[in-house]
Amino acid sequence: MVKPEGATSVSSHFDIRIRQMRWQDKYTHGIWGAVFGAAATLAIGFTWGGWSTAGSVKSQVEKALQNAAIPGCVAAVMADPTAAGELKTKRPFDYDDVVRDYRKRTSATPDYGFQFNRDCGKAIEAAIAKQKT
């Protein structure tokens, strides 16, 4: 039996299909490997590698600025006669209220919020305790 020109046998067509499937599998596995590798790199980098986003860096910088401003806050509040008078009448855990009132009166410094006022109040409490000893 003679095959017409251009005709292919079933086995030849099957061989082409198998080669095509192997090629697709090879690249499919490679692409999925790259996707999972990228995801693993990101997960490890952000958890253990010390990578950070712009938002977290901004909050870290703001916290560092607040911590650097606390000694100045303590000196300014204790030097103010009105605030010094209030410190004598208030309980130590109410010193953050004195700081808040001072900052509202002077408005020379930016408002860092409740936590800054509380930290400054605790630093004032420590400074007063140190002066007494």
What is the per-residue pLDDT for 103?
Answer: 86
State the average pLDDT over residues 26-33: 84
Q: Between 111 and 115, whose confidence is greater?
A: 115
Domain ranges of the chain: 9-51, 54-132
For range 84-101, the mean pLDDT: 87
Query: For residue 73, is pLDDT > 80?
Result: yes
What's the gap between Cα 120 and its chain centre?
Answer: 24
Gap between the Cα atoms of 65 and 63, Å rounded: 5
Q: Which is more confidently placed, 34 or 55?
A: 34
Distance, in Å, from the CA atom of 100 to the CA atom of 114, rounded to the nearest integer, reads 8
**Which residue, among 124, 28, 110, 27, has the nearest Cα to 80 in the 3D structure?**
124
pLDDT band at 4 (very low <50, low <70, confident <90, very high): low
